[in-house]
Amino acid sequence: MRVQVLVVGAGPVGMTAASELRRYGVSVRIVDRAPERTDKSKALVLWSRTLELLDRAGSPVDGAAPFVAAGFKANAVNFVAADGDIAGRIALDSVKSPYPYGLMIPQSDTERLLDERLGKLGITVERRIELVRFVERPDLVEAILRHPDGHEETVQADWLLGCDGAHSAVRHGLGASFAGETMDSDWMLADVHMRGYPFPDSEASVYWHRDGVFVIFPISPGRYRVIADLPGTGQEHPAAPTLEEAQAIMTRRGPPGLVAFDPIWLAGFRINGRKVADYRHGRAFLLGDAAHVHSPAGGQGMNTGMQDAFNLAWKLAMVVRGKAREGLLESFSAERSKVGDEVLKSAGRLTVIGTLKNPVAQAVRDTVAHALMGLTAVRHKLADTMTEVTIGYPGSPLNGPASGASPKPGERWRPTVGHRPPGGGGTPLFSLFADRNDAALGLTRRFDAILDPDIQTPPEGGCIWLVRPDGYVACSTSEADEVARYLEKIAVGG
């Protein structure tokens, strides 16, 4: 069998990649060795930027709306110092997005909705199918898949996407190094029903207790996830806590009166910080946990992986459909590897800050946090960073000329409610924000294969913004000729 793209791994990252590619007209198969979707809450939050990118799909899958309907909006995070005082409160309503909140939604629901999205696009996840091995040839990848009855199938694919998690068979098949380290401490996770929470259900809280960090995430009214670091045992897979053990940690580190009951999921885990050096290996790509794993601090992991998929899908679709030169794909690793580095560093810093044990260091942390989070500008910056609207590609090889106007090349183009976002529809197209004149119309006629014919109104006259299908600025200039030269480098036959 020959297919344009074979996706290995049907978690949120793989299903996001497959749905984006399919809506752009690419033939896709997606396989997973697991017999069914996860039934665990696992990754718990979709941040503003991920919701914006989901929204580009629109009809027939209805964009971000099904996720918002199924989730619970968290609009603030409280930080409680070791002495019990509030060190700061980060409200998310300052975020300039149609989705100014963290959407708390169990991964089981995220996967269910992505699976439904695939079904609407005519794709069924093929489960209990394992990638045994693959060989890359000059014009294709030849993959051997093992079915539940033991028979093996040979699949020829133009491109292979490894979205198969931290123990990725694709990464192992490529021989790609997964460099990094494992933290010494163990961690406890408990999804429980709880009473006595002193903050509104719509707010998370981080307690910097003297013994270590204790975090409470709302999942829905009355249901929460609590996470805490514990002394290391050296075990590769720490034992899951009992409800009584979880309650003991909550009583010691949390606010008075917390009572947990009716547990849904109890787990122990260790934190790894690892990453590949390159996300592309010829005709194979690594995305999500196959490319990077890190501390859950900040809740960035699943979102980062899904955004890997959004970044690659439009580029791969343009190349597969013969609209763009293959060199476009070189930007994937350049852009997303740098984001992965930043997420790894940021999550590591947050983990170290939260798990300080030295009383003097704890006192300095709490004092500095209280002072900084007392500043409005700092709170807004933290909210933007947390919700991932600050993610961009300032050093991208895809960045074109810059006029000095904002947003600059590599920065996010802020979606506007009621307007179709760049990258919507069934064809990956750049969008033009410009005065409607002969020069702009000439661009849409000349580059009709990769440029949306609908010229949109710019925020300020005289400037032309070219925006990528994933909603990032490609170039800003006052000269239509500069836009033309940029598109010539992208388009086949340009």
In the chain, ranges of CATH 3.50.50.60 domains: 2-44+106-178+277-332
pLDDT at 1: 80
Cβ-Cβ contacts under 8 Å for 484 (sequence gap 6 or more): 443, 446, 447
Quick one: which of 307, 295, 298 has its CA closest to 335? 307
d(Cα 339, Cα 349) in Å, to the nearest integer? 15
Third-level CATH fold of 2-44+106-178+277-332: FAD/NAD(P)-binding domain (3.50.50)
Quick one: which of 70, 115, 111, 40 has its CA closest to 220? 70
| CATH class of this structure's domain 180-273 | alpha beta
Cα–chain center distance at 262:
31
| Residue numbers in the chain where pLDDT is lower than 50 | none
Residue with tokens 């007209």: 25
pLDDT at 417: 81
The CATH number of 394-494, from 1.10.3470, 3.40.30, 3.30.230, 3.30.70, is 3.40.30
In the chain, ranges of CATH 3.40.30 domains: 394-494
- 315 to each of 46, 48, 81, how far by Cα in Å? 23, 22, 45
pLDDT at 460: 81
d(Cα 433, Cα 264) in Å, to the nearest integer? 49
Instruction: Name the residue type at position 140.
Output: L
